[in-house]
Amino acid sequence: MKVALVHDYLREYGGAERVLEALHEIWPDAPVYVAYYNPSVLGSQGETLRSWDIRTSWLQKIPLANKLISPLRILAPMIFESFDLSEYDLIISSCNVYFAKAVITKPEALHISYIHTPPRYLYGYTTSYNYKKHWWTRVGGEIINHFLRIYDFEVSQRPDILVANSKNVQARIKKFYRRDSIIIYPPVTLPVQNDKAKKDYFLTVGRFVRGKGVDIIIEVCGKLGLPLKIVGTGPEKENLESRIKNQALKNIEFLGLVNDEELAKLYAGAKATIVASEDEDFGIVPVESMACGTPVIAPKSGGYLETVVEGKTGILYEAGGLVEALKRFEQKDFRQEDCKKQAEKFSKDRFKKEVLELCRNYLK
C-alpha cells in the first residue's frame, strides 16, 4: 500500500506541524506534499524535517513566495489540485488555511483529511492577517473570500473521511461543510521534567500574531508587576517589544524560539502558563504545559474547554477577566499529578493508535 501525506505548507512550526510529524512517524517512507517549504525559518524544531521526502508545488518557484503566501491563498486550491497522487492508495491531508484537502485522488484510494479548523479567515474568526485595515483590501478580500467559501465547501466533500481535532472544530465542520466527522485529538509530547523545578514566573508560548492575545498578557502582567517569560516569534514581535520598552516593563522577558528540551524546562519552571487566544480551535500549548505539571490560565471558550479542567488543572476566565483569573490562581493549589494525568489523554501514542485504527477500519 502506497501512502502520501499532504500538508498546507511548512514555514512555521506549531500544533499542525506536530500532527504532521506524528503522521510521518507512522509512515516514515511516505512523501510529504506541501504548497511551500522554507526550512530556514523553522528553527531547531524543523531539523527532523530535513531527512523527509518533501515535495513542493510550483509556488516554491515564485519570487518572494514566503512573503506572498497569505495573499496567494486565492491560488491554493489550484496548487493542491496540481499534485499527481494517482499512484497512492492512502492519502492523509493535514488541512488548516491552505486547502490541502483539495487534492485529487484516484477513485479507489482512501483520502482522510485531518481538519485543524475550517479556514478562520473565511468564517469570521480572528486571524493573523488583517485584510480589513484598508477599504480596498477589505472590499477585495470580501469578494475573494466569497468565492473561496464556495470552493472550500466543494473541496471539503472530496475526502472520504473528515477528522476533527476537537469537539469545537467538529461543530464547525458540521456547520460549514454539513458533514459528520471523527474526533482525534492532536498529539502532545515533551521531555519529562524534574518536579522540583522552581515556580517563580509566568509563561506564555505561541506565535506573535493578531488574535493570540500576547499583547493582553503583557499588559496585564505589566500592570500587576508579575514576572513573565515569552516564547515565540511572529509578525507582531517588533510591536510587542516596543510596547515593553516604552513602558519600561523590566519584569517581562522575550526568549524567542527555543527547542523542545528548553521549552519543557520553561514549562516546568513556571507557576502557570497563560494563554489568551480568541476562539482557539484546540490549543496545544495548555496540554504541553500540563504535560510538564504546570497549570494553565486560559479563556473560557473554544478548545480550552476540552483540555483545561477548571480548578483542577487551571483557571478558565471570561473575556476581559485575566486580572481576576490571576488573583484567583494565587488563592488555589494545583497538583502536578492532576495536570500530567489530564495531559496523558492527548499523548502521541494515543494519537497514532487512533489514526491506525481508523485506517484499518476503512481499508478492510
Residue 137 pLDDT > 70, yes or no? no
Indicate the fold that domain 202-346 takes in CATH: Rossmann fold (3.40.50)
**Per-residue pLDDT, 196:** 63
Tell me which architecture the domain covering 3-187+347-362 has in CATH.
3-Layer(aba) Sandwich (3.40)
Pairing verdict, β 54-56 and 90-95? unpaired
> Does residue 127 carry a pLDDT above 80?
no
pLDDT of residue 30: 98
Closest CA to 10 of 103, 127, 96, 78: 96
Average pLDDT, the chain: 90
State the cell numbers at 20: 504532521
In this predicted structure, the answer to whether residue 135 has a pLDDT above a threshold of 50 is no
- Residue 183's DSSP bridge partners are 164
**How would residue 250 be classed by pLDDT, with cut points 50, 70 and 90?**
confident
Region for 201 from its dihedrals, namely left if φ exceeds 0, alpha if ψ lies in -120 to 50, beta otherwise: beta
Contact by Cβ (8 Å): 165, 115: yes
Grid cell 485504527 in the structure block, residue: 357
Side-chain-facing half-sphere of 330: CA atoms under 13 Å: 10
Q: How confident is the model at residue 132 (pLDDT cuts 50, 70, 90)?
A: low
- Grid cell 499583547 is found at 215
The answer on pLDDT for 18 being more than 70 is yes
pLDDT band of 125, cuts 50, 70, 90:
confident
Ordered by start, the domain boundaries in the chain are 3-187+347-362, 202-346
Whole-angstrom distance, CA of residue 33 vs CA of residue 9: 9
Helical H segments across 88-164, by residue range: 135-155
- Residue 67, pLDDT score: 82
* Confidence at residue 66, expressed as pLDDT on a 0 to 100 scale: 83
The answer to whether 132 and 125 have CB atoms below 8 angstroms apart is no
Among residues 294, 301, 302, 364, which one has the least CA distance to residue 335? 294
Which residue stretches of the chain are H helix?
Answer: 15-26, 65-68, 76-81, 135-155, 167-177, 214-224, 237-246, 260-269, 284-291, 304-307, 322-330, 336-343, 348-362
Cβ count within 10 A of residue 183:
14
pLDDT tens for each residue of 338-352: 999 999 999 999 999
- Select the more confidently predicted residue: 358 or 44: 358
CATH topology match: 3-187+347-362 vs 202-346: yes
Average pLDDT (216-228) is 93
In this predicted model, which residue has the larger pLDDT, 68 or 266? 266
| Strand pairing category for 182-183 and 3-7 | unpaired
- Return d(Cα 185, Cα 173) in angstroms, integer: 15
Is the pLDDT at 361 greater than 50, yes or no? yes
* Residues with Cβ within 8 Å of residue 333, at least 6 apart in sequence: none
314-317/202-205 β-pairing: unpaired
Per-residue pLDDT tens over the stretch 19-46: 999 999 999 999 999 999 998 878 777 7
pTM beyond 0.95: the answer is no
Query: How confident is residue 97, by pLDDT bands cut at 50, 70 and 90?
Result: confident
Q: What is the largest CA-CA distance in the chain?
A: 63
